[in-house]
Amino acid sequence: MEKLISNFLNYLAVERGLANNTRESYGRDLCQFAGFLARQKLTTASEIHKNHVMAYLLSLQKSGKVPATIARHLAAIKGFFRFLLNEGLVPKDPTLNLESPKLRKKLPQILSNAEVDSLLNQPDSGRVAGLRDKAMLEVIYATGLRVSELCSLNEQDLNLELGFLRCIGKGSKERIVPLGRLAVQAVTAYLQRGRVKLLKKPAEKALFLNHHGRRLTRQGFWKIIKKYAFEAGIPKEITPHTLRHSFATHLLENGADLRSVQEMLGHADITTTQIYTHLTRNKIKDVYSRTHPRA
């Protein structure tokens, strides 16, 4: 099983181009599944039947795992057996017709326009770190980038004159995203007065650098955004993804079409983007309830 899992993860990297984080998640889930099978004295993939998979999912449920976690494990197992079947390594797929647990859709947390303004005004542009932080916050809100995409940006990915940036998203897919006027100004200031002071090695390509002169990590940005949210007095639970959610919702509220927002977010399927229409509908309903005389 260990060898088969390794081959599957290699397939995900080479053929599917999945991100490291996704492959690592699949690997952890499948290794846990393999451990369960080993305790049942099942050592080869061809021995596994639907009942074994169902017993594993039931064990996850009994251990207190939430439906989203169980669904993730099942997705990994399904992908694994599809791969084995296509490779002719198993006679049939034991996960066929197995359905994921129903998930309650949770609407993402977003910030109001005033909260975004307050957050983005927190960095002190008189300091090198403040120039960098201001640029990062402006860019992520202006573009809706994922945090990993933001931290992966290189200086050459920017076209400040035309107001665009180039981003490599999930599945190594490239997209071009507009960069707003305020974000361009913040990045320009950072490049002129901030990055040059953080830079330790001229060959470094990363756009956003830490105080060691190396690429800033996702964890580093997480700490930055939590710090500024606290200083801004925003009571909501903020994650780096909050600005991505706010970007999408604010665009739709102001008349952007769903397909354009899908392109900017880098969603492969428009149904992923449609969750933001629920947020705007909720706002419309609230306005109607407060203002219509017969609501």
Known catalytic residues are 146, 170, 241, 244, 267, 276
Q: Residue 166: beta bridge partners?
A: 176
- 166: phi then psi, degrees, rounded to nearest 5: -105, 135
- 48: phi then psi, degrees, rounded to nearest 5: -85, 130
- 155: phi then psi, degrees, rounded to nearest 5: -55, -35
Q: How far apart are CA 103 and CA 292, in angstroms?
A: 34
Q: Residue 154: beta bridge partners?
A: 206
Cα Dmax for the chain:
69
Q: In the 8-state DSSP scheme, what is residue 209?
A: B
H-run or E-run covering 279: helix 275-291
Neighbours of 111 (CB within 10 A): 24
In the chain, the DSSP E strands lie at: 158-159, 164-168, 174-178
Q: Residue 159 has which token pair?
A: 């076209």
| 8 A C-beta contact, residue 120 and residue 134 | yes
Q: How far apart are CA 90 and CA 111, in angstroms?
A: 49
Give the dihedral of Cα atoms 99, 65, 35, 23; nearest 10 deg. Answer: 70
| 8 A C-beta contact, residue 259 and residue 270 | yes
Q: Establish how many alpha carbons lie within 13 A of residue 67's alpha carbon, considering only the half-sphere containing its beta carbon.
A: 8
Q: Which SS3 state, helix, strand or coil, does residue 38 take?
A: helix
